[in-house]
Structure 1
């Protein structure tokens, strides 16, 4: 009888796991071609089999996968928001799952800690506080901001997000030695068994989770972030929110004793009852999940995401007279090559290719890039563009099919080092003489600028909370300014805003470390 009961229980459990597992559908299969960030990845059969084994392993235990998926659904809206604000492709969100399974106090064998698995030294490099009282590696907002800075810095060395991602594991020096310059700027990459193991593991997480996010959500609320300026305690905040102190401690393990100091604003998260609010996803996410109906109901398209608009015979985009980009005849480079070779493929003279694309004589042609074969326009179809980290005046002009000289003239800006993430550039009308280029606050940079009307009057000047100097930013050349530290700012963000180095700000203000406080006056010497 006992043996019979055991068999019966085993059979019932097997049926349960079978049904549960199949409620998610079949285990996702690794495709022959994938999109990752702005890259096109082509996978041969051997590397597909390797990655598939990891995907199968992630789905092997339905209960374990479900628990992890619930955690992913809880934290992912915040991760996506911070990556978007930093101009980092949201495809990088799967790295947090790979690193820590989104367990806030996860610790590796090498003593890396938190959501993004930072060692202490690296965490401090990206302006995270790590000491006996505060460990921002365990703060989902701060640690994601730090990871975004680190990944963006890596990518800037390669102009290739695959290399930048692998540098996250190897370190920048190690990645440079490993890759050299073979992938710099390359947009179409063929993967095989020699592809770095860390990237193959990452792709397995992307395949395993990208069509599952949003499914089987059993949380009774969603994580809401609030900015807190100390000194205060989680206990006091809990009273104001109407939740228990234990509740806040569960989601805010970054403060060891529940105390929040006054050296800077900190992000506190709590589980707010109700439905998850509509969130903005990047275009790279949408392209990666064309069939993900669970997410499509939450997606708001950024007008900029529709550009460049590619029409025509896209299957033959690397041949002449097959496609138009922003309604202008164009061609796509199949590989990194010379101007002469692409001009020959396009059936035009090299000088014309250079002229209509605003290329310098020594500029390389990047694999996967779109290049016009007839002149660009003096205006774009949309009125404005919000500058993202890593963009240049040239890349923006190519994105919208607007002449580089026109873009510069409309905004009275000539050099890339004057671009600041959040700047609202005009793409149709000329900016008035002396008119300051508006800069959106960091928490609004992922929001959309109207495509048929001018930016709201409330955005024509930076908000008072950002303490923008009275003199227009583009006319302060060679002047000494006073900057008042606003909530959420650190030395890195301030340095980016003014186009100066962090070390210079510290030297000008005799700062012994990177700690600054809200309301503190800083001297800035504009170059």
Structure 2
């Protein structure tokens, strides 16, 4: 009998061990190295253990985790879209989960409110309306725009997204006092027990949810957005949308009494049943709701997001001096002002012929202020797999963006000239396109999901074009800016791109495109081209 009891006990403990190991396998494990935004994070064992404890805690109650995941899946498409539009790395999206668990009217002990947990003063700094009628901290679209603006402002002080993220919790002054300048411009960061707790907690949320976002755990439907210009009421909007007023109140807690004022356009969201017709790209390893082909395609397309390239490392504070930075891991230098090839070559200490050769420059090409120029030869392939062509780009500008030789770019895609480029075209940056293989042009709605704004002449349904061995060139969409007003703005003391964009009613990304700016840095007295609609 004792012998049988021993066998039973052993069987019980064996089953317990199996169940425990199965549960452990389902919980994501913290790796030794993590990619976050444009940083490489190297974790020692103690940092890994601390973060793993938080990951385990987030997964401990699976019912609670699934409830939270349902909420994340409802709101995350709006978060991703606004972060992409602002040029903030998508990895920052996990911060909203950490801050509020995507609960619209969440309130902290320090009286921070809403999705991104803004205090009233900070919310007003990023142009959110907070009063007794409207609280945009509870509006997923408005609050994410504000969070993106705040995060970018913080990061501009450090050129390091870890510091910028911690500044979200500490404030910019607190983060400067805490970090000093030790991480400014650094792209490889080692984490240990002294790493700020807030950042380690953020990494736990990133690891816990990274492979889960987009995996449907219940049939909750999806959120649809409509832009509403008041004055009107949720009741009137509900009648138009054929939903109840209470339904709109549940998902739009930013209006306290159901009134929508006429001071600006507000995003109203409501729940629709079924699967979303098209959702923004979700950068995760989850394959639960997509086929392996679709997931691979999504990953490739998401690599070409604005802001990911060029990858600039080194002493970015002295980028205009030789031997200070690398662009796409190639030695390079930034032009401080527009000048000739001869003058620029003399300034950076290389031969004019070499400058022209390694940058694929024509003899008459001038050096553009703020642009990066390589001082060593570019590569035959890029780190990214593909690039999605944007309006106004050329083969040369794309080759510079990724540090790929112009001849290689042309050969891989069987394209000979800029006349063959079409906005939305998917170019190969690593593999050669097969002979006779069609070139895909993404439909306009999919481009918008990726944060790519194109003219309305871009195709609205999937299109393929024949490689350029065909006799007739592919027409390029007309430029809608040709009939707009062209102005010159001189940068004044205290101005930044955001304030200039607000003054003229244009987008920051457009100002950067018109002036060939690779980042947000501008200087007093600099002349900027503005194309006012």
Q: TM-score of the superposition, structure 2-length normalised?
A: 0.62
Alignment counterpart, residue 446 of structure 1, candidates 448, 451, 463: 451
Which residue of the partner structure matches residue 87 of structure 1?
Answer: 87
- CA shift for structure 1 position 214: 2.1
- C-alpha contact (below 8 Å) 1:24/1:212 kept by paired residues: no
- CA shift for structure 1 position 160: 1.2
CA deviation map 1:221-248 (0-9, x unaligned) = 1001110000111111111111111110
Q: 2-side partners of 1:131 and 1:342: how far apart?
A: 47
Which residue of the partner structure matches residue 503 of structure 2?
Answer: 495
Structure 1 gaps of 5+ residues are 1-14, 309-324, 359-368, 389-393, 405-426, 432-439, 463-467, 479-489, 501-523
- CA shift for structure 1 position 67: 0.9
Question: Residues 24-103 of structure 1 correspond to what in structure 2 (within 5 A)?
Answer: 26-103=26-103
Tell me: CA distance 1:25–1:403, structure 2 relative to 1, closer, same or farther (3 Å): closer
- CA shift for structure 1 position 171: 0.8
Alignment counterpart, residue 403 of structure 2, candidates 401, 404, 407: 401
Q: 2-side partners of 1:200 and 1:476: how far apart?
A: 45
- C-alpha contact (below 8 Å) 2:128/2:143 kept by paired residues: yes
Q: 2-side partners of 1:525 and 1:370: how far apart?
A: 26
Question: Residues 469-484 of structure 1 correspond to what in structure 2 (within 5 A)?
Answer: 471-473=484-486, 475-476=487-488
Tell me: CA distance 1:461–1:164, structure 2 relative to 1, closer, same or farther (3 Å): same
CA deviation map 1:197-219 (0-9, x unaligned) = 10000000000011111224313
Tell me: CA distance 1:383–1:86, structure 2 relative to 1, closer, same or farther (3 Å): closer
Task: Find out whether 1:461 has 2:476 as its counterpart.
Answer: no
SS of equivalent residue, structure 1 residue 35: strand
Query: What RMSD in Å do the two structures reach over aligned CA positions?
Result: 4.8
Structure 2 gaps of 5+ residues are 1-14, 333-344, 361-371, 381-385, 407-416, 422-443, 459-463, 466-473, 491-497, 509-529
CA deviation map 1:451-484 (0-9, x unaligned) = 9766644xx216xxxxx9x6533x4458xxxxxx
SS of equivalent residue, structure 2 residue 303: helix
Tell me: CA distance 1:185–1:134, structure 2 relative to 1, closer, same or farther (3 Å): same
- C-alpha contact (below 8 Å) 2:41/2:191 kept by paired residues: yes
CA deviation map 1:62-83 (0-9, x unaligned) = 1111111111111111111111
- CA shift for structure 1 position 123: 0.3
CA deviation map 1:270-295 (0-9, x unaligned) = 0012212333327xx3xxx4464546
Question: Residues 224-235 of structure 1 correspond to what in structure 2 (within 5 A)?
Answer: 224-235=224-235
Which residue of the partner structure matches residue 376 of structure 2?
Answer: 373
Which residue of the partner structure matches residue 260 of structure 2?
Answer: 260
- CA shift for structure 1 position 190: 1.1
Higher relative contact order (CA 8 A, sep 6+): 1
Q: 2-side partners of 1:347 and 1:274: how far apart?
A: 51
Tell me: CA distance 1:101–1:80, structure 2 relative to 1, closer, same or farther (3 Å): same
CA deviation map 1:6-50 (0-9, x unaligned) = xxxxxxxxx9xx999979961110011111111111111110000
SS of equivalent residue, structure 2 residue 190: strand
Q: TM-score of the superposition, structure 1-length normalised?
A: 0.63
Q: 2-side partners of 1:76 and 1:247: how far apart?
A: 20
Which residue of the partner structure matches residue 201 of structure 1?
Answer: 201
Which residue of the partner structure matches residue 111 of structure 1?
Answer: 111
- CA shift for structure 1 position 301: 5.8
- CA shift for structure 1 position 300: 3.9
Tell me: CA distance 1:525–1:277, structure 2 relative to 1, closer, same or farther (3 Å): closer
Q: 1-side partners of 2:391 and 2:48: how far apart?
A: 38
- C-alpha contact (below 8 Å) 1:304/1:385 kept by paired residues: no
Q: 2-side partners of 1:347 and 1:25: how far apart?
A: 43
Which residue of the partner structure matches residue 305 of structure 1?
Answer: 303
- C-alpha contact (below 8 Å) 1:332/1:370 kept by paired residues: no
SS of equivalent residue, structure 2 residue 41: strand
Instruction: Report the count of equivalent residues.
Output: 395
Which residue of the partner structure matches residue 416 of structure 1?
Answer: none
